[in-house]
Amino acid sequence: MYYRCYICRKPPHGFCWLDPNRFQSAENRRASFKRFCPKTYQDIHYQLHRKEVDVNRTDLEQKAADSVLISLADYVVSVGVDKGLGSYSKDEIAGLVDTVLESYHCALQELYKDEVPF
């Protein structure tokens, strides 16, 4: 199974977290397993967990995904609205992916600007 950093979603560098209160079953342990890039991100998660702050990532991810639509629309217009995705060249698809990922990452940075040192 491939994990991403729980905070920044990049490939992690080895730090992890298991919720000690969820050791009753293997399924609970797997559900509580999280990986992190630097130890700082693990510390942030631990502090939020200690304060019983539930980070609802789906709301933040949805906001970031919604903000991508404008950039995505601009890119599609520049390639050609009448051109189907199946007709895109390899470079056009790479540009589409880059546009979406860059917009999404920038939106997450803005949403987490006070909490995570990007």
**In a shared domain, residues 64 and 37:** no
Task: State how many domains the chain has.
Answer: 2
Indicate whether 2 and 25 sit together in one domain.
Answer: yes
Chain-centre distance for alpha carbon 107: 10
- pLDDT on residue 38: 80
Neighbours of 24 (CB within 10 A): 8
Pair 6, 34 in one domain: yes
Q: Is the pLDDT of residue 104 over 70?
A: yes
Domain end residue (candidates: 29, 55, 81) = 55
pLDDT number for residue 109 = 81
Domain hosting residue 86, numbered range: 56-118
Question: Which of 56-73 are b and which e, b meaning 16 or more Cβ less than 10 Å from the residue's Cβ?
Answer: eeeeeeeebbebbeebbe
pLDDT tens figures, 68-98: 999 999 999 999 999 988 999 999 999 999 9
